Amino acid sequence: MIRKTIEQVANMINIENDVTRWHHLLIEGVSIDSRKVQKGCLFIPFAGENTDGHQYVRQAIENGAGAALWQKDISGAPEDLPVLIVENTLLALQQLAKAYRDSLDIKVVGITGSNGKTTVKDMTASVFAEKYRVQKTEGNFNNHIGLPLTMLSLREDTEIAVLEMGMSGRGEIELLSKLASPDAAIITNIGESHLKDLGSREAIAEAKMEITSGLSEEGTLLYLGDEPLLTERISDEVPFQTKTFGLNEANDLYPVSVEQTETGSIFSINQAADVKFELPVLGRHNVTNALAAVSAASLFDVSYESAAEGLRKVQLTKMRMEWVEGKNGIRIINDAYNASPTSVKAAVALLADLASSSQKIVVLGDMLELGLDEELFHYQTGQAVDPEKIDYVFTYGPLGQFIASGAKSAFGPERVFAFQDKNELIKSLKNILKGGELILVKASRGMKMEEVVESLTL
């Protein structure tokens, strides 16, 4: 993590008061929560609509913080404490993170996309770890606050940083890319997430392309070549290198064989047909995610054999295609972290294709942020569920009922159940379980569908 004297910090960001008497103090790390300060850290308060972190500056320093920032338009800056006055504390956090990143001898891989960016982050970090000292974005620290905090947590001996970049609107990924200055950037795909904010998949593609804003001329953009919305935005005049990955043979990297197993996939690639990649993660779509990680690793001289070893060891962030053992031999695929029509259809298809004589049940909740056509997207998702391969459909939420409506046209009403009360859903689901079933649980994060998973394991 960042370890600098106040004098050094003052040379990295614009300080508006005289901090000479504090020059000798050493800060280690940063915190934006006064309750979680570590000894010697730099506390950074934000002035929010409901609370103002500045009122906790004294408490933070008394609890061990080495110093604090202070936004100049907030009155009452204490003169007896090591307080650094800045124009804006958020901008100062970002400026400090950028300066710290530029001071490190490190390579950065930035990752964005509508679906799969956290999975690709985990896979990429695991692959790089076979050769380098690696750090990656933890949790959901992928926005205009989380990314700078991640960057400031980088150790000085880290060789590769794998940074996830999220967004809710235009301009956000551009900011993050310029802060991180990635040496390689990955766009996993273009889906329907953020349609509410951006209006179209074309606009989403434009927003994801912002990740190239901080890419140098020596940098490389790796993107899903199966996606026309991306390929049509790449011209011969782009000021960076490009490589494609995907299932189509027109890509620079693609699989020449894929074998689905009950616990993952085994595949080989066109550039190293003799290397077997064993991926302990469910879903054909995750083969595509793995290709992104392998493609990135090849840019930094990680051999395909080492990449295969890294993928074999990968551990994904929880609630992403996570196998959970329930009671009475029930097995659950917990994919409750996020959802879009594309990712739900992929997860349902995965369950449908698993070779098993067990009954298969999907439990699906609302997919959020889909804009004006959200009801249609949910209805079409229900229509896509195969009644020959899935035994029951359960839905939860006001939009989930449209999934149920779409499914009923093929399933009939006796195999499809829609609920607005999660406890009622759980009760009804348990009533049909006899033991040994395979159950997929998936919805947007706000639906908290992990509560359904937990109810089946108690």
SS3 406: helix
Specify the DSSP element, H or E, that contains 263: none
Residue count of the chain: 458
Look at residue 98 and tell me if it is in a domain.
no
Shared domain for 47 and 117, answered yes or no, is no
Residues 157 and 193 in one domain: yes
Is 15 within a domain? yes
- H/E run at residue 116: none
DSSP string, 172-188: HHHHHHHHH--SEEEE-
Cα–Cα distance measured from residue 215 to residue 44, given in angstroms and rounded to the nearest whole number: 28
Domain that holds residue 79: 3-88
Query: What distance in Å separates the CA atoms of residue 72 and residue 91, rounded to the nearest whole number?
Result: 12
Contact 28, 4 (CB under 8 A): no
Residue 110 β-bridge partners: 163, 185
Q: What is residue 275's DSSP assignment?
A: E
Which residue, 312, 339, 368, sits at the end of a domain? 312
pLDDT tens digit sequence for 333-361: 999 988 999 899 999 998 998 888 899 99
Rounded Cα distance between 60 and 255, Å, is 53
Burial per residue of 173-195, b for 16 or more beta-carbon CB atoms within 10 angstroms, e otherwise: bbbbbebbbbbbbbbbbbbbbbb
384, part of any domain: yes
Q: Are strands 272-279 and 265-269 parallel, antiparallel or unpaired?
A: antiparallel
CATH of the domain at 327: 3.90.190.20
- Do 292 and 180 share a structural domain? yes
200 and 70, same structural domain?
no
What are the backbone dihedrals phi and psi of residue 439, each rounded to the nearest 5 degrees, phi first? -130, 130
**What pLDDT digit, counting tens, does each position of 164-203 carry?**
999 888 999 999 999 999 999 999 999 887 777 788 999 9
Structure tokens at 225: 């070549």
3-state secondary structure of 166: coil
- Cα–Cα distance, 155 to 357 (Å, whole number): 50
- 94 in a domain, yes or no? no
Q: Which pLDDT belongs to residue 417?
A: 97
Say which residues have a Cβ less than 8 Å from residue 40's Cβ, sequence separation at least 6.
26, 27, 28, 29, 64, 65, 66
The tens digit of pLDDT for each residue in 72-122 reads 999 999 999 999 999 999 999 999 999 999 999 999 999 999 888 999 999
Is residue 125 domain-shared with residue 17, that is, in the same domain? no
Q: What is the pLDDT of residue 332?
A: 95
Helix residue spans in 81-163 (DSSP H): 89-103, 117-128, 146-152
Domain boundary among 30, 61, 88: 88
Strand 331-335, strand 438-442: pairing: parallel
Residue 144, token pair as written in the block: 């205009």
Q: Pairing between strand 255-260 and 265-269? A: antiparallel
CATH code where residue 53 lies = 3.40.1390.10
Confirm if 194 and 116 have CB atoms less than 8 A apart.
no
Instruction: Identify the CATH number of the domain in which residue 297 sits.
Output: 3.40.1190.10
264 and 328 part of one domain? no
- 176, 307: one domain: yes
What three-state secondary structure class fits 56? Answer: helix
Beta bridge partners of residue 266, listed in sequence order? 259, 278
Which residue ranges in the chain fall short of pLDDT 70? Answer: none
User: C-alpha distances in angstroms, 143 versus 61, 99, 101, 350, 425?
Assistant: 26, 18, 16, 31, 34
Write out the DSSP string of 313-336: T--PPTTSSEEEE-GGG-EEEEE-
Same domain assignment for residues 224 and 358: no
Q: Could you tell me if 246 and 109 lie in one domain?
A: yes
In a domain, 95, yes or no: no
Q: Mark which of 88, 122, 140 sits at the end of a domain.
A: 88
Residues 132 and 84 in one domain: no
Residue 93 lies in a domain: no
Are 211 and 162 contained in the same domain?
yes
Evaluate whether residue 33 is within a structural domain.
yes
In whole angstroms, what is the distance from residue 437 CA to residue 330 CA? Answer: 5
Q: Which residues contact 309 (CB under 8 A, 6 or more apart)?
A: 130
* Residues 245 and 275 both lie in one domain: yes
* Total number of domains in the chain: 3
**Which residue is associated with the tokens 């400031």?**
152
- Position 99 in a domain: no
